[in-house]
A and B are shown apart, each in its own frame.
Chain A
């Protein structure tokens, strides 16, 4: 079977130059190795299609907020009384301060520096965490295309360390349909040992061949377009028909005091407004 990229590409054109990708970068800087430096920015490659809902108060449709609640005192805890603890045993914590956490936060990266190249096939997909696209910034287009093409022909991928949202990631830079993708990888220590699940049973050759034949019968090409999140589709259909059929419910405009505010303020404003209108 042909190995396919894990990055889903929706249009037939290049994912980076195509219209589907927003040009607003999450990060911009340089992609570099040895003496090459290419100005690039990073954009999202996937957008999880989850339909999310706001929780509302049934009485007046006010949007609800989450608050930190102390079950011991049965009260809401204000931010200045909240600290962080690492649970070492049940009801036993080591305290850590924001300063301590900040002291280990790495500096924001200005470059994605490729430190070594590997064979793209060597990475077990289990290491893949989150995909992004690299888009060439002004002046970087030619070098970008050259690198993407060279990496595609040689099936090479680059490894780099890169700080994104305060965390240093190991990332792989790889070529995907004419564009460069950056995929954050899990560190080795995050991958759970699989010894415990790999079965070591003796099997007969005949049984093995039987299974292989069955698999061969079901073989096809990977086509993600064939599949869709059916629940999401159905929810969206329901929402669309509801928008047509019924007016949306409205939350009150000011949470605490109701719609208009104290009568004397409004009265004062009305009075003043009348005078203003005479002038203008």
Chain B
């Protein structure tokens, strides 16, 4: 195994197997993955900050087996920040907080290509910072169908005077976020609110949408998964890589851009490659920044 010791802000980190190709059918080495996360760090770190990271590790690349790791590994460097959280059944566990570049590099070096985080911070696990609608196309539906549902959700939420933002999942779906950023809204409320929204959209667009978990109802439709609004669930972090054939990232889109791309009817145009990500943020701005800042309350709950 080849190793290379680097120092970041005075902290020593041992990087391994940098030449290993983790996206073999596309050609994207671990060195390129680390370089992507280094360049995007300024933008992704605020979204990871103080949240319990779930590692999704691909030690032998995206075509081989992966495993999830929720606990912060005991072999972590001493400078990695951790927090103690409780699982549903009362177990306590230590989780990693990715608050700085060196930790992000350490995480990427463990071949954790995908970075998943909860909607709440580790210090206040019951109060989400945002409400989310996870749009998931079933077989026969695609990301363009998701985009149509996202645009309906956008109009509806805007009618309710709730600012909302959209990002690609990096796979086949889209995620619509409603920032809250107040400690008073609970998961019970966001779950409840999002379910009511999903139900009414489904009732009005039955051929396009389903709000039911059961696969039977999901034939060629978009599933509005409201149940992600839960302290035990995680979402793929914005700007995280996805473990697909190509190094695609979860990336925010402006609503008018989504509208335009949807009318062009080419699902491929909705995906953003890691190589284009930093350039796009520099040109268009960090479209997901407001998700962390904007304070809103759910209407009349």
Closest residue of B by beta carbon distance from A23: B65
List of A residues within 8 angstroms of B91 by Cβ: 98
- Interface check A276, CB cutoff 8 A: yes
Tell whether A266 pairs with B196 under 8 Å between CB atoms, given A98-B91, A280-B151. yes
- Interface check A261, CB cutoff 8 A: yes
Per-position 1/0 for A11-50, Cβ under 8 A of B: 0000000000000010010000000000001000000000
Specify which of B86, B156, B196 is in contact with A79 (CB 8 Å cutoff): B86
Q: Is the CB of B156 within 8 A of A265?
A: no
List of A residues within 8 angstroms of B156 by Cβ: 269, 272-273, 276
List of A residues within 8 angstroms of B152 by Cβ: 276, 280
Minimum CB–CB distance from A212 to chain B (whole Å) comes to 52
- Interface check A257, CB cutoff 8 A: yes
List of A residues within 8 angstroms of B196 by Cβ: 260-261, 265-266, 269
Q: Is the CB of B65 within 8 A of A28?
A: yes
What is the size, in residues, of chain A's interface with B at 8 Å between Cβ atoms? 34
A82–B301 CA distance with the chains assembled, in angstroms: 33
- Interface check A275, CB cutoff 8 A: yes
Kindly identify, within residues 75 to 89 of chain A, every residue whose CB is under 8 Å from any CB belonging to chain B: 79-80, 82
Q: Is the CB of A254 within 8 A of B195?
A: yes
Q: Is the CB of A272 within 8 A of B159?
A: yes
Q: Is the CB of B94 within 8 A of A137?
A: no
Query: Which of A253, A254, A268, A276 has most B Cβ within 10 Å?
Result: A276
Per-position 1/0 for B157-196, Cβ under 8 A of A: 0011000000000000000000000000000100011011
- Interface check A232, CB cutoff 8 A: no
A138–B86 CA distance with the chains assembled, in angstroms: 38
- Interface check A6, CB cutoff 8 A: no
Q: Is the CB of B192 within 8 A of A261?
A: yes
Minimum CB–CB distance from A78 to chain B (whole Å) comes to 8
List of A residues within 8 angstroms of B90 by Cβ: 68, 79, 82
A251–B156 CA distance with the chains assembled, in angstroms: 29
List of A residues within 8 angstroms of B204 by Cβ: 273, 277
Minimum CB–CB distance from B176 to chain A (whole Å) comes to 14
List of B residues within 8 angstroms of A266 by Cβ: 196, 200
Tell whether A102 pairs with B94 under 8 Å between CB atoms, given A272-B160, A280-B152. yes
Q: How large is the interface on B (under 10, 10 to 19, 20 to 34, 35 or more residues)?
A: 20 to 34
- Interface check A105, CB cutoff 8 A: yes
Q: Is the CB of B300 within 8 A of A279?
A: no
Q: Is the CB of B64 within 8 A of A262?
A: no
List of A residues within 8 angstroms of B92 by Cβ: 98
- Interface check A141, CB cutoff 8 A: no
A279–B74 CA distance with the chains assembled, in angstroms: 55
Query: Which of A25, A269, A280 has most B Cβ within 10 Å?
Result: A269
Q: Is the CB of A276 within 8 A of B301?
A: no
A268–B196 CA distance with the chains assembled, in angstroms: 11
A137–B59 CA distance with the chains assembled, in angstroms: 14
Tell whether A265 pairs with B155 under 8 Å between CB atoms, given A28-B65, A107-B74. no
Q: Is the CB of B200 within 8 A of A254?
A: no
A61–B197 CA distance with the chains assembled, in angstroms: 25
List of B residues within 8 angstroms of A130 by Cβ: none
Minimum CB–CB distance from B88 to chain A (whole Å) comes to 8
Query: Which of A68, A264, A268 has most B Cβ within 10 Å?
Result: A268
Per-position 1/0 for B102-144, Cβ under 8 A of A: 0000000000000000000000000000000000000000000
A270–B199 CA distance with the chains assembled, in angstroms: 11
Query: Which of B65, B192, B197 has most A Cβ within 10 Å?
Result: B65
List of B residues within 8 angstroms of A80 by Cβ: 86
- Interface check A256, CB cutoff 8 A: yes
A197–B25 CA distance with the chains assembled, in angstroms: 63
Closest residue of B by beta carbon distance from A68: B90
- Interface check B39, CB cutoff 8 A: no
Q: Is the CB of B193 within 8 A of A265?
A: yes
Specify which of B60, B93, B197, B200 is in contact with A98 (CB 8 Å cutoff): B93
Query: Which of B60, B151, B188, B196 has most A Cβ within 10 Å?
Result: B196
Residues of A within 8 A of B (CB): 25, 28, 41, 68, 79-80, 82, 98, 102-103, 105, 107, 137-138, 253-254, 256-257, 260-262, 264-266, 268-270, 272-273, 275-277, 279-280
- Identify 13 residue pairs between A and B in the complex whose beta-carbon atoms are under 8 Å apart, listed by A's number: A82-B90, A102-B94, A138-B64, A254-B195, A260-B196, A264-B300, A265-B196, A268-B299, A269-B197, A270-B200, A272-B159, A276-B155, A277-B204
**Beyond A41-B65, A266-B200, 4 additional pairs, beta carbon < 8 A:** A102-B94, A262-B301, A272-B159, A279-B155
